Amino acid sequence: MAKEKINQELMEKIVSLCKRRGFVFPGSEIYGGLQGFYDYGPLGVEMKNNLKKLWWNWMTKEHENIVGIDGAIITNPKVWEASGHVKNFVDPLVECKKCHHRFKADDITGDKCSECDGLLTEPKIFNILVPSKLGVVEGEKVDAYLRGEACQTIYLDYKNVLDSTRIKIPFGICQIGKAFRNEVTPGNFLFRQREFEQWDLQWFCRPDEMEKWFEFWKEERMNWYKSIFTNPKNLGFYKHEKLAHYAKKAFDIEYIASPVGKEMEGIHWRGDWDLSRHSEFSGQDLSYADLETNEKFIPNIVETSGGVDRTFLFLMLDAYTEEEERIVLKLKPSLAPYKVAVFPLLKNKPELVAKAKEIYSDLKKEFTVIFDERGNIGKRYYSQDEIGTPFCITVDFDTLKDEAVTVRDRDTMKQERIKIKGLNSYINGKL
């Protein structure tokens, strides 16, 4: 089969699984949807929260000198003038005079529309910041923007973080937060949305240490992604040749096996651009006073800026495995929405159901657990494999005598007999 067709089929399977099993739903679906917006369902939100928690703990607990913030989505509109977004966050587009379809000018070679053969207009500039209005009185409303990138609030809070903590250079401020863009071509499911989430680290350092820290974070971030993917060999770097005027280097961490776009995270050399611009536009001194060397300078910044939703999509694609008789989501257990499923062998035997419910309630105190008594055991395994549940526990007649259960491993499908009182430590050990 042609590669494009295989890719398209794989995406269709992931989109369908996500909706059918409650990972991701199309936004506003009962009203016909809204392009570029999605909602996470009961399983999706568990997995996304697991993912964000892993990132957050890794940033703030496994590194020295990184603190977090949670900034506002709407900021003073001057922020976006200082950042350059009002002027430069633009896409030149052409429009078909006949069917009014719009295309990115960079993607077009001729002067005819690929949809209807109509003639195209000259390129026009569109800003992709999402505007908003603040205030209640018509005519007195103030223009604002939803943030086009999450990182700007980190620059705005940099001085407050310095003044309110004892942090010293080099240090990092990290954040997970929403960003909004009027993407011209939203599509490919979670890959290009109009509302999405970013996880950013802005690492503030001395200008003469940029090289060292850039290389450090580039490798460090790649190692982190490798630790969460089922097939780390599917990750790679893309080196940017076209750079922003202040940047010396830029790399993307890519999911190279992606059937759609590949970019997952950007490692950016931002230098002193952001703090200098905000210093200039706000009139505030954003320099750093180094008390040890008596120097005063604008810190330079290495940024690692990744997409939470894109990572989610790539993890699903990477974990999705079709085997002869089942579909398995081979997610790392730490990411799986449910860690454990508990079944009574037969649903019409009250003593088995009661024992299974007791185990379920106990495990629920520590793990995300699902109880299932529908159909036969085979169907229940099939259903749990498809959503990536690493362990299935079955309560059978022997359980009532020996206080032990059968634990079945998602990946190997092997079964072990484990004492009920040892279940928590068994599962924790595996996780």
Least distance CB 90 / ligand GAP (angstroms): 13
What gap in Å lies between CA 159 and CA 10, rounded to an integer?
47
Least distance CB 243 / ligand GAP (angstroms): 13
What gap in Å lies between CA 166 and CA 65, rounded to an integer?
10
Return the number of the residue (193 or 279) whose C-beta is nearest ligand GAP.
Answer: 193
Instruction: Write out the E strands in 141-241.
Output: 142-146, 171-180, 195-205, 235-239
Least distance CB 258 / ligand GAP (angstroms): 11
* Distances 352 to 279, 363, 391, 402 between C-alpha atoms, Å: 68, 17, 19, 13
Q: Helix (H, G, I), strand (E, B), or coil: what is residue 420?
A: helix
Return the number of the residue (301 or 345) whose C-beta is nearest ligand GAP.
Answer: 301
CB-based contact 383:408 (threshold 8 Å): no
Return the number of the residue (151 or 169) whose C-beta is nearest ligand GAP.
Answer: 151
Task: Name the DSSP class of 257.
Answer: T
Least distance CB 175 / ligand GAP (angstroms): 11
Residue nearest to ligand GAP (CB): 307
Least distance CB 100 / ligand GAP (angstroms): 23
Return the number of the residue (159 or 310) whose C-beta is nearest ligand GAP.
Answer: 310
**3-state DSSP: the chain helix, strand, coil percent, rounded to 5?**
35, 30, 35
Return the number of the residue (316 or 356) whose C-beta is nearest ligand GAP.
Answer: 316
Least distance CB 78 / ligand GAP (angstroms): 18
CB-based contact 80:130 (threshold 8 Å): no
Instruction: Write out the E strands in 308-395.
Output: 320-323, 326-329, 340-344, 369-371, 391-395
Return the number of the residue (92 or 118) whose C-beta is nearest ligand GAP.
Answer: 92
Least distance CB 394 / ligand GAP (angstroms): 40
Return the number of the residue (183 or 290) whose C-beta is nearest ligand GAP.
Answer: 183
In the complex, the residues that contact ligand GAP under the rule CB under 6 A are 149, 151, 181, 183, 192-193, 196, 198, 263-266, 303, 305-307, 309-310
Q: Helix (H, G, I), strand (E, B), or coil: what is residue 424?
A: helix
* Distances 341 to 89, 122, 310, 391, 406 between C-alpha atoms, Å: 47, 59, 28, 6, 12
Task: Name the DSSP class of 232.
Answer: G
CB-based contact 161:173 (threshold 8 Å): yes
Torsion of CA 414, 319, 231, 391, to 10 degrees: -30
Return the number of the residue (150 or 353) whose C-beta is nearest ligand GAP.
Answer: 150
Least distance CB 69 / ligand GAP (angstroms): 15
